[in-house]
Amino acid sequence: MKALIFNESEILEIVDIPKPTLSSDNDVLIQVKATGICGTDLHILKKEYPAQPGIILGHESSGIVEEVGSRVKNVKPGDRVALDPTYHCGICFYCQNDRPNYCAEKHHTETGVSHNGTFVEYHVVNASFLHHLPDDLSFEEATLVEPLACVLNALRQTQIRPEFRVLIVGAGPLGLLFGLATRSMGCEVTIGEVSDYRIEQARLLFADVQNYKNNDLLSINSVRRFDLVIDTSGKSLEKLIKVVDRGGDILITGLDYSSEAKIKPSHLTDNGIRIIGSIDSNLTFAPVIKMLRHNQDFKKIITHIFPIKEYEAAFQILGLDLKTGQRGEIKGNKVVIHPNTFEINTFRTLNN
Ligand SMILES: [Zn+2]
Ligand SMILES: [Zn+2]
């Protein structure tokens, strides 16, 4: 079967590998139907985020159960499922204190980062990390379960209320999911972005999208500051401290290891500002599957679907030339790879 491997030279390569087999009574063999390309995959390939060489990448996935181990009760062959890639052991300090997303075993268990992922035709997973998909949610839409589960986990840590004015920095998939989720809660949403493509696309979904390439984010918000600012870029903290209102929250969900910020703790004290960092999901898969069913806007962020053999074109759409390592223009939002299909190749824009 075909797999996209992060090889020993730390380059993405398509290889033929044997179909995996169940190794425990609690294992399930999944025929992977769709896996989304995440910002994390791009960071790994740009060498900005560490991953284990030799593993299969990919972690935002859905599929069909093909075979189950003898002790598996929750799923059966033929079931449609979403896969939770954030394995947690259940017995370490963090797992036992409501923080499974910081599980002590994470450094070697994270699907598609430190453990084999799902840019592949078949994948074996422990049954407790599977969630049933309703019939009216497609496999492609179901690739949004994982990123939206991270969004919901992050929002639950803020003080968000329907009357909030929310600023989101970044109109990539995560930024748009934050925008759609907060708007559905009743919030007034502003999105800031620098990529021309992403600005144009975000304007199909949101009324207030600001171009930060031409206008600094500090120059546009003279009327009223924001109650909640969300940084999906991971590098805007210093500026965001100036646009968040008194008593407001700053939520950092982007990863930029080169970014540093100088802040005055007294400003936080004087103004009651909270800075919150959040990563991964935390028991938020089940609620998010309900959100995806009930809000038809989320699926609009999927702009491209590629068969696995065209993986280079898929990454090129997201501004990464895998052959040269060079960065180019971004021309897509959420891009999905079909590990089992060789003929589908879909292009579309948001809002259709
Ligand atoms: Zn992801
Ligand atoms: Zn644990």
Mean pLDDT of 201-206: 96
Q: Tell me how far the alpha carbon of residue 10 lies from the centroid of ligand 1, in angstroms.
A: 19
pLDDT tens, residue by residue, 214-231: 767 776 555 679 999 999
pLDDT at residue 294 is higher than 70: yes
Domain boundary among 236, 262, 277: 277
Which of 172-181, 277-286, 343-352 comes out lowest in average pLDDT?
Answer: 343-352
pLDDT at residue 67 is higher than 90: yes
- Give the ligand whose atoms come closest to the C-alpha of residue 279: 1
Q: Tell me how far the alpha carbon of residue 102 lies from the centroid of ligand 2, in angstroms.
A: 7
Nearest to 59 by CA among 142, 138, 119: 119
Sign of CA dihedral 63, 66, 70, 76: positive
64 and 212 assigned to the same domain = no
222 and 128 assigned to the same domain = no
Q: Is residue 23 in some structural domain? A: yes
Select the more confidently predicted residue: 103 or 343. 103
> How many domains does the structure of the chain reveal?
2
With beta carbons less than 8 A apart as the criterion, state whether 10 and 53 touch. yes
Q: Could you give the 3-state DSSP secondary structure of residue 35?
A: strand
88 and 163 assigned to the same domain = no
| CATH code, 328 | 3.90.180.10
- Give the ligand whose atoms come closest to the C-alpha of residue 36: 1
Q: Tell me how far the alpha carbon of residue 241 lies from the centroid of ligand 2, in angstroms.
A: 34
Alpha helices in 138-188 (DSSP H): 139-142, 145-156, 173-184
Mean pLDDT of 235-257: 93
Mean pLDDT of 246-263: 94
The Cα–Cα gap between 25 and 183 comes to 43
Side chain identity, residue 271: N
The Cα–Cα gap between 183 and 164 comes to 10
With beta carbons less than 8 A apart as the criterion, state whether 45 and 12 touch. yes
The Cα–Cα gap between 298 and 173 comes to 10
The pLDDT of residue 224 is: 72
- Domain range for 229: 158-277
87 and 178 assigned to the same domain = no
Q: Tell me how far the alpha carbon of residue 97 lies from the centroid of ligand 2, in angstroms.
A: 10
177 and 253 assigned to the same domain = yes
- Give the ligand whose atoms come closest to the C-alpha of residue 255: 1
Arithmetic mean of pLDDT over the chain: 92
| CATH code, 244 | 3.40.50.720
Tokens linked to 69: 């181990």
Q: Is residue 352 in some structural domain? A: no
Q: Tell me how far the alpha carbon of residue 14 lies from the centroid of ligand 1, in angstroms.
A: 20
With beta carbons less than 8 A apart as the criterion, state whether 74 and 133 touch. no
Mean pLDDT of 324-333: 89
- Give the ligand whose atoms come closest to the C-alpha of residue 95: 2
